A = this chain, B = another copy of it.
Amino acid sequence: MDFPSEQNYIEQLSIDCVIFGYHQKQLKVLVPKLNFNGDFYALPSGFVIQDEDIDAAADRILRGRTGIQDTYIDQFHVFGKAGRSNETFLDKLLELNKDTLGEKGMNKKQYDWITKRFVSIGYYALVDINKVIPKKIAIDASIDWYDVRELPPMIMDHNEIVAKALDHLRINIDDKLIAFKLLSETFTMKEIQELYETVFNKPFARNNFQKKILDLNVLDRLEKKFTGAANKAPFLYRLRG
């Protein structure tokens, strides 16, 4: 979350990004910790500039924390309950940081702007975790990948936003071929299956799974992976470009 100042943003509208990565049978989410007393974790978030498309705003937020711009990112749900506001969280943050904030660090006008009710558009992005070097922005103390099943408690409804994003990832995984965005450019069939098993948190039968994936008819089979044991080496695949 930026703290808006001179920037001309649309009021009461925010964007929250769930950035998924995958590594060693763990589906991970990129979560910054805010640079204030109080252990506040918050999804990468931001606002929409008046002359900016909402998709461009989401790209900007993703790029700001990952450096990545060419990957899958899409809106998945709008969070718009009437009581949805930063106020409780910000009151607590100010209380725990009154020595350094208050009159000086956050002026009254910014505070009014940001404690209104916010409707938030949820976006989810899928990145190749090897290509991302997580970047802190000014308000971050740290930014790290967390297993989706072991996320820290986050501010507001951010944990629910991740749960809803995971639902959408599961629903769209085949139709939009988005799973492959979580892998490196080339991968073995076993690696795809492990990814699916991680996303759905259940095992799949090897033969059925392999048939299903090959029936999607979207992969090119490449050379065998170099493992040292040539005759047992698995084939590498790549998403047809």
**Does chain B have a CB within 8 A of A160?**
no
A121–B51 Cα distance when bound, in Å, is 18
User: In the complex where A75-B77, A77-B75, A171-B175 touch, is A52 in contact with B82 (Cβ < 8 A)?
Assistant: yes
- Taking the full assembly, how many copies of this chain does it contain? 2
User: Which of A7-15, A103-111, A220-228 contacts its partner?
Assistant: A7-15
Within 8 A of B (CB), among A38-89: 48, 50-56, 75, 77-78, 80-82
Do the beta carbons of B75 and A53 come within 8 Å of each other? no
**Does chain B have a CB within 8 A of A219?**
no
Residue from B10, B51, B117, B175 within 8 A of A12 (CB atoms): B10
**Does chain B have a CB within 8 A of A178?**
no
A16–B230 Cα distance when bound, in Å, is 59
Report B-chain residues with C-beta under 8 Å of the C-beta of A117.
10, 50
Can you spell out 20 A-B residue pairs with CB atoms less than 8 angstroms apart? A10-B12, A11-B11, A12-B13, A13-B119, A48-B80, A48-B119, A50-B82, A50-B117, A51-B82, A52-B82, A53-B81, A53-B82, A54-B80, A54-B119, A55-B80, A75-B77, A75-B78, A78-B78, A78-B121, A171-B175
